[in-house]
Structure 1
């Protein structure tokens, strides 16, 4: 069964990427060496995730952790879903109640997949988050 889980998160990453590029320091013509390196890593992450190649999960963990440490004012531009998706160290930046929400969402997704029944990640996410 094809799941919309990966495409949903890839789309969120692209939205976050575009949002980050519209804010200082990434909207500047001249980037510092550190900012240019971060942008390059972000570009590579989007590409790797699009191709589903390499260790993009580990790269995502590293990039989001670096974002929190070096650009904390930009963290609100990144959907919280990506912290859950990449996991690892990123989970340290999520409160327990937020983790519980994403655990519930994953449990519902896994139950549907194990029963081979249709599952719409985005709709279920909206319901659990109270967005409908």
Structure 2
């Protein structure tokens, strides 16, 4: 069974897949190469829960390909996926965003070490707030 952090990212990947399918249905991309791309995307969805570390490179490759192959939907790629897969995906994130995600990751690690619950989205909202996430 996948942990909540992995489950969250699998849901984001499923959402992105839905967008990719809609793109193909709208006939906005070459059908044959798009079908092959979706097959690789499905492979990631299958492999990621089984072996998250081994799937990192495939995830990086596919997310970067989404941005370069389908620029019309690049803005719809969840930023969390860029951070999750890291590597070349990080080139698509500005420094301020990288700092935000680094802080988030540190907080998640700290909560994990203390066996405390951690809500990724809530923490991200707190950090993105005008007061820059200062805890009271």
Segments of structure 2 that go 5 or more residues without pairing to the other structure are: 130-136
- The alpha carbon displacement at 1:42 in A equals 1.0
Deviation (angstroms), 1:56: 1.6
The whole-number CA distance in structure 2 between the counterparts of 1:52 and 1:86 is 13
What residue is the counterpart of 2:18 in the other structure? 18
2:117, 2:108 → 1: CA distance?
A: 9
Q: Does 1:5 align with 2:33?
A: no
* Contact 2:82 2:89 survives alignment (8 Å): yes
Describe the shift of the 1:88–1:54 C-alpha distance in structure 2 as closer, same or farther (beyond 3 A).
closer
Equivalent runs, 1:56-75 vs 2, <5 Å: 56-75=55-74
What's the CA shift for 1:3?
Answer: 4.9
TM-score under structure 2 length normalisation:
0.81
Equivalents in 2 of 1:46, 1:17: separation in Å? 10
Q: CA 1:28–1:93 in 2, change beyond 3 Å: closer, same or farther? A: same
- Superposition map of 1:1-132 within 5 A: 3-23=3-23, 26-27=24-25, 31-52=30-51, 55-130=54-129
Deviation at 1:100, TM superposition (A): 0.8
Checking the alignment, whether the CA contact within 8 Å between 1:48 and 1:54 is kept in structure 2 is no
Provide the C-alpha distance between the structure 2 equivalents of 1:60 and 1:35, rounded to a whole number of angstroms: 17
SS state of the match for residue 22, structure 1? helix
Partner secondary structure for residue 119 of structure 1: coil
Quote how far apart the aligned CAs of 1:33 are: 3.0
CA shift at 1:108, angstroms?
0.4
Q: How many residues align?
A: 127
